[in-house]
Amino acid sequence: MSQQILQVDQAMLETTLDRMVRKSVEETLNAMLDAEADEITGAARYERSGERKAYRAGHYERDLTVKAGKMSLKVPKLKGAVFESAVIERYRRREESVEEALIDMYLAGVSTRQVDDVSQLLWGDRMPSQTLSDKLKKVYADIDEWRGRPLEQDYPYLIEFPRTPWRPDKRCWGGSVENVSILVAVGVGMDGRREVLSVAEGMKEDSESWREFIKGMLARGLKGVRLVTGDRCAGLVAAVNELLPGARYQRCMVHFERNILAKVNPKNRDWAADALKAIFSMESRDKALEKAESVAKDMEARKLREAAKCLREGIGETTTYLLDDYPREHRRRIRTNNMIERLNREIRRRTRVVGSFPDGRSALMLICARVRYVTSSEWSTRRYLDMSRLGENVQSAN
């Protein structure tokens, strides 16, 4: 019977290895700093040389946080010359990869307080919220450039939605905390891939907010829009009709069904859900409208007058996708704005950690950063639709 002869304390081994790695890195960096000092002075330490340009005047200790942990560096001080190191930047207290890791943690959904706690736990060095905010300015500059980038290709399908209108983000406005909405637009280009075209703040979901939102995209080169899918916002419909005359409006089918079912009592809800599915399973718009009228009459017979009224008022703009102008292969994906629900969930999950924002820019920058973080994956790199099926019979775009 075999017996375990050697026992290894895994925690002690890892601690010892970490200490050895940190000490080795610290010694290497200090040696590199000494070598740089020798090069600047033109002579080694204690060397008598007629070519000496400066003299050593001791050193000062400086902490630096790297992947291996927190270490103490001995930075040389010189007389007759300024010591400028290529090893570490002046005033830098953390290795760039460490700062990038902390920033990625924040953008991934970790609060500033938790980032500080993790930094203290892993490297023994704090990252206060103000310091993190200062580091994020460089990221925000990149986000501003991304938000203002030119839109070069045609985007036949444009999906727009206000970020969680039932749970808006809160921000300080004129000394008080008020609700705001974040307007997001995703386009499907001629390459068949999805792309976040614009993210902007809108105090209200009115026509003026949507008009400015669409104007901003038009100024950057938005063209070729043939269908706009979104929720039932009067401001959005008016802005689309005014600024995108070559595009049609498609009301989100899923949200339309939810609006109707909200007016149906529990006893008839299953029947109503099946009836609505039958409407949107029709292959042509005329048959869908005919079926919708039949369902509305049945609803009235069951004393569901409000549901019947809602169905009759919205069925026209909810069946735009069934027009012959749009390929059958595209209809299932252009009839709703559910394809960006993932973005909505990610934004909601990230902003819930913050609660309220000090100003609109901080809220907008965080949401933009989160959107870019999510869409940089397979979400936006794989082909979403086969745009070769979009024939020449579609009405000419704006």
Reported as a single tens digit per residue, the pLDDT across 182-199 is 888 999 999 888 889 998
First to last CA, the chain: 83
CA-closest candidate to residue 96, choices 87, 85, 84: 87
Helix (H) or strand (E) holding 267: none
3-state DSSP assignment of residue 218:
helix
Per-residue confidence (pLDDT) for residue 19, from 0 to 100:
65
Beta 169-173 vs 356-357: how paired, if at all? Answer: parallel
Question: Residue 197 burial by CB count (10 A; 0-12/13-18/19+): exposed, middle or buried?
Answer: buried
Residue with tokens 């501003």: 144
Nearest 5°: phi and psi at 284?
-130, 160
Half-sphere exposure of 184 (CA within 13 A, CB side): 25
Beta 176-188 vs 169-173: how paired, if at all? Answer: antiparallel
Quick check: 163 and 184 in contact, CB under 8 A?
yes
d(CA 21, CA 6): 24
d(CA 168, CA 166): 6
Residue with tokens 């938005």: 222
Nearest 5°: phi and psi at 57?
-135, 45
Residues in a beta bridge with 161: 184
3-state DSSP assignment of residue 385:
coil
Supply the pTM of this predicted model: 0.69
C-alpha dist (Å) from residue 125 to 72, 108, 111, 173: 12, 21, 17, 35
Q: How many residues does the chain have?
A: 398
Per-residue confidence (pLDDT) for residue 219, from 0 to 100:
94
d(CA 256, CA 318): 7
Q: What is the pLDDT of residues 268-280, one digit of tens each?
A: 999 999 999 999 9
Per-residue confidence (pLDDT) for residue 102, from 0 to 100:
66
Residues in the chain where the model's pLDDT stays below 70 = 1-22, 24-26, 29, 64-71, 85-103, 105, 107-112, 118-127, 129-131, 162-180, 203-205, 353-360, 377-378, 380, 391-398
